[in-house]
């Protein structure tokens, strides 16, 4: 009887559910959690072993997967001779996941608004001056941007927080690797938010592994609002894309101002809270790291 039930679940896990599984992953579930939930909603109840069989999840992982579903409100335990689990109504469960994302991004929007006010103040002051403000530097070309980025990393001592996405500021960032190792070995903080495209090749994933081994904490997020490097809580290097030309044109700014760095740190922490560990996501994508 158990084998027959498992077979029915496997039939239901055909390609027509691929889009649903993708949506569940986008809402923050792991690949295993998405598969397990998709199986569980098709049953009144199911044991962990039945879920493992139906969703093709290794038995040694299924209990962590089920625990994750319970903690996120997508499933509940059902008492009996053998503990089984029942799915929460998908309309309720998915609404809860969406609400979590809305709350996080509402906080990010508020912090971004604070940062934009800080930037607007700097911009307004700059319009009143005939010479650039001493603590603001505009980098006009990619070579200048790359040079200042490498210099900023070499000066980092206590912290380095980054938003990064393609195209990268520098291709070979050995100075960044050295800075990461130096900062973290002295008890400092190095963290980076990456977009999913960073996992598009073995070479990129191996670079991520190197930075992780050097002490960097990396997370994958859906999208970073801009390229950003915050150093020592005092320096902010960021790129603002032209709202009309898009990624074809960018204004690169280096600001030495602790108040701005603090505001941008709040925005960083909010986006960081939405991400997932980069090497975990890489392993789920099939990379050996």
Q: Is 163 found in the same domain as 111?
A: yes
Average pLDDT for 103-111:
88
Q: Which residues pair with 183 in a beta bridge?
A: none
Return d(Cα 261, Cα 234) in angstroms, integer: 6
Last residue of a domain, one of 88, 117, 137: 88
Residue 93 falls within a domain, yes or no? Answer: no
Last residue of a domain, one of 62, 88, 114: 88
Full-model pTM:
0.55
What residues make up the domain containing 56? Answer: 2-88
Residue 289 falls within a domain, yes or no? Answer: no
Judge if the upstream peptide bond of residue 263 is cis by omega within 30 degrees of 0: no
Residue 95 falls within a domain, yes or no? Answer: no
Q: Is 64 found in the same domain as 10?
A: yes
Domain count, the chain: 2
CA nearest neighbour of 205 among 275, 286, 113: 286
H/E element, 192:
strand 189-195
Average pLDDT for 72-80:
90
Q: Is 190 found in the same domain as 82?
A: no
Q: Is 165 found in the same domain as 44?
A: no
- Give the strands of the sheet with 136-139, arranged side by side: 136-139, 246-256, 235-242, 227-231, 159-164, 189-195, 217-221, 276-277
DSSP one-letter code for 72: T
148-255-171 Cα angle (round to 5)? 30
pLDDT of 3 strictly over 50? no
Q: Is 133 found in the same domain as 104?
A: yes
Q: Is 248 found in the same domain as 144?
A: yes
Q: Is 169 found in the same domain as 256?
A: yes
Query: 51 vs 16, 19, 222, CA distance in Å?
Result: 19, 20, 29
CA nearest neighbour of 211 among 168, 147, 245: 168
What are the pLDDT digits (tens) for 117-158?
888 888 877 666 555 566 888 887 888 888 999 999 999 999
Last residue of a domain, one of 67, 88, 109: 88
CATH at residue 250:
3.30.870.10
Residue 149 falls within a domain, yes or no? Answer: yes
pLDDT of 94 strictly over 50? yes
């Amino acid at each position: 009887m158990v084998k027959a039930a498992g077979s029915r679940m496997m039939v239901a896990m055909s390609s027509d559910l691929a889009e649903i599984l993708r949506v569940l992953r986008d809402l923050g579930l792991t690949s295993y959690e998405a598969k397990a939930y998709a199986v569980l909603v098709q049953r009144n109840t199911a044991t962990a072993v039945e879920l493992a069989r139906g969703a093709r999840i290794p038995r040694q992982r299924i209990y962590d997967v089920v625990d994750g579903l319970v903690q996120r409100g997508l499933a509940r335990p059902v008492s009996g001779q053998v503990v089984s689990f029942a799915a929460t109504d998908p309309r309720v469960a998915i609404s809860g996941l969406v609400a979590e994302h809305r709350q996080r991004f509402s906080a990010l929007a508020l912090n971004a608004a604070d940062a934009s006010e800080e930037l607007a103040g700097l911009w307004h002051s700059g319009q009143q001056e005939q010479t650039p403000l001493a603590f603001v530097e505009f980098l006009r070309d990619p070579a200048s941007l790359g040079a200042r980025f490498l210099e900023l990393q070499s000066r980092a001592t206590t912290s380095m927080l980054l938003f990064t996405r393609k195209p990268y500021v520098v291709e070979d960032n050995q100075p960044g690797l050295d800075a990461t190792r130096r900062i973290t070995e002295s008890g400092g903080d190095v963290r980076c938010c990456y977009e999913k495209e960073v996992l598009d090749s073995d070479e990129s994933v191996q670079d991520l592994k190197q930075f992780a081994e050097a002490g960097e904490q990396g997370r994958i997020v859906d999208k970073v609002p801009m390229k950003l490097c915050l150093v020592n809580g005092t320096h902010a290097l960021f790129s603002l894309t032209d709202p009309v030309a898009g990624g074809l044109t960018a204004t690169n700014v280096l600001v030495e101002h602790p108040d701005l760095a603090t505001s941008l740190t709040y925005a960083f922490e909010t986006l960081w809270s939405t991400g997932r560990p980069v090497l975990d996501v890489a392993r789920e994508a099939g990379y050996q790291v």
